[in-house]
Amino acid sequence: MIRALALAVLSLAVSACAPVAPYQRGHLARPDMAFEDSPGAAKALEKVFVAKEAASGSSSVGGSGCGCN
């Protein structure tokens, strides 16, 4: 029984998940929490990529295969 308790408490304690309260969402908006270092540069690279690949629509960044917009 004690082992089961210890296991349950331990499994919860080592969990990497932490609830983020609505008022703590500013932490998620920090620049170091972003997937990209520079959103502007990422958007430019994405634009070149979709223009070269003629593969517009695969991401959320707008643009067509002609590379004209």
Point out which residues bind another protein (CB under 8 A).
1, 4-5, 8-9, 12, 19, 21-27, 29-30
* Distance in Å, CB of 19 to another protein, minimum: 6
Residue showing tokens 């990422």: 42
* Distance in Å, CB of 64 to another protein, minimum: 29
Are 43 and 61 spatial neighbours (Cβ–Cβ below 8 Å)? yes
Residue number with CB closer to another protein (8 or 55) = 8
* Distance in Å, CB of 17 to another protein, minimum: 11
**Token pair for residue 56?**
């517009």
DSSP string of 7-23, one letter each residue: HHHHHHHT-------GG
